[in-house]
Structure 1
């Protein structure tokens, strides 16, 4: 009974508070200790998985809606989040049975055209330290958890394609923008930063070329201290210059080339 009441409330809010036919889907990449994962949701009473997402309120900017959706699923805020593509193919709702969805979620037939009909979806991707996140399912899902990037199952709709394109975009971003702030400890070594890049790219990088490129960006500050507990020639510690880092994110031309 409580579920039905909450469902009726949500349907009423959907009709009055949110834009119709436009949705947001978030590819949330999680990095930790050399692992790259993606956050997925499992729909109630099913083994069907999909990306987290949401709707845009009438008086809400689209980027703000994406940040809100990310906070609701991870508990994190003030992280890098970027729009990467708009998905609007007629056949994008594959691997999905509309009638089966209505039955399992308990949606009334009259609400189906509004809530589970075809949308144009704006894709965003984020990169977070997944050890800091608190995966939280929404009203329509039973589970929210991380999946290894190489073990993602067949997802609903066109969400597998979304992940592939988001990862391709993220990897391309590494060539012109810095990545690492809030993904590494406040103080880190150059090998730590290189491991992050190698994990995202899925390949090894030359140590000398990598260090030369990272220092050339001008966003790293080398500290007068070395990593403790290692070999005699332990690597120096670095940290991001937050002001220069944010300037670099705002000015892509600094990193083109």
Structure 2
């Protein structure tokens, strides 16, 4: 029998009362740092098990507002660019019993352990502005590069793969300016495209396409500390990152 005074049990009981059953949000929060595309992950209390941020939808809020709330709580940001990219509704998404045992949750008999359909959202954030914050069930929240992501709980490795595929397919109209700092170099912008696409790009052709977009302003300063000739710094022209965010260059593999 479950101990109703257990804080974890109380947490799930409150969620059961306040939220829509069998429907959840899973969030893939992308950031770009040190020329790598990274994802924010959570480590569950008392374990070495990691998962994506996520949560449930309150009965009085829309799914988009629920996604905003969940992502805001994990990043400390008030405004995020979000896009719903997939619905994960397979009948057997993962081994439920084995998963709950890994994270030591005393939830036998609680309806949240039954089948749940998940709405996948991804967020594009500027890495340096994020304050990674764990939730009630976790004790660590930090960035992982795509190449280093471990085996995750639930079906979250699959969710990241689908999110990345969505980024690649939508690159031509994706406001990737949200991933960049205010000032950057053309090589850094190219590397962002390359890490999303998963393959290198010709530097000369990339430069021509970016310049043809006419959204960048070259500054007089150069990036110091680079091993080769210091590249010029750029920023988006006024309005390019707000009303009309810069979209990625549309490359076809």
Query: In structure 1, what is the equivalent of residue 141 of structure 2?
Result: 144
Structure 1 gaps of 5+ residues are none
Q: CA deviation at 1:143?
A: 2.3
Give RMSD over aligned pairs.
3.1
User: Could you list the per-position Cα deviations for residues 40-59 of structure 1 after superposition, in whole angstroms to 9, with x for gaps in the alignment?
Assistant: 22223333222110111112
Secondary structure of residue in 2 paired with 1:21: strand
Query: In structure 2, what is the equivalent of residue 48 of structure 1?
Result: 49
Q: CA deviation at 1:21?
A: 0.9
Further displaced range: 92-101 or 49-58: 92-101
* Match for residue 114 of structure 2 among 109, 117, 136: 117
Query: In structure 1, what is the equivalent of residue 193 of structure 2?
Result: 197
Structure 2 gaps of 5+ residues are none
Further displaced range: 185-194 or 26-35: 185-194
8 A contact 1:177–1:248 mirrored in 2: no
Q: CA deviation at 1:98?
A: 5.9
Q: CA deviation at 1:199?
A: 2.6
CA distance in 2, matches of 1:29, 1:171: 13
Further displaced range: 71-80 or 236-245: 236-245
Q: CA deviation at 1:157?
A: 1.9
CA distance in 2, matches of 1:41, 1:230: 34
Query: In structure 2, what is the equivalent of residue 29 of structure 1?
Result: 30
8 A contact 1:43–1:141 mirrored in 2: yes
CA distance in 2, matches of 1:148, 1:39: 9
Question: What is the TM-score when the length of structure 2 is the normalising length?
Answer: 0.83
8 A contact 1:26–1:51 mirrored in 2: yes
CA distance in 1, matches of 2:116, 2:69: 19
User: Could you list the per-position Cα deviations for residues 187-243 of structure 1 after superposition, in whole angstroms to 9, with x for gaps in the alignment?
Assistant: 2222221122223223221122212222333432334x2316479975443222353
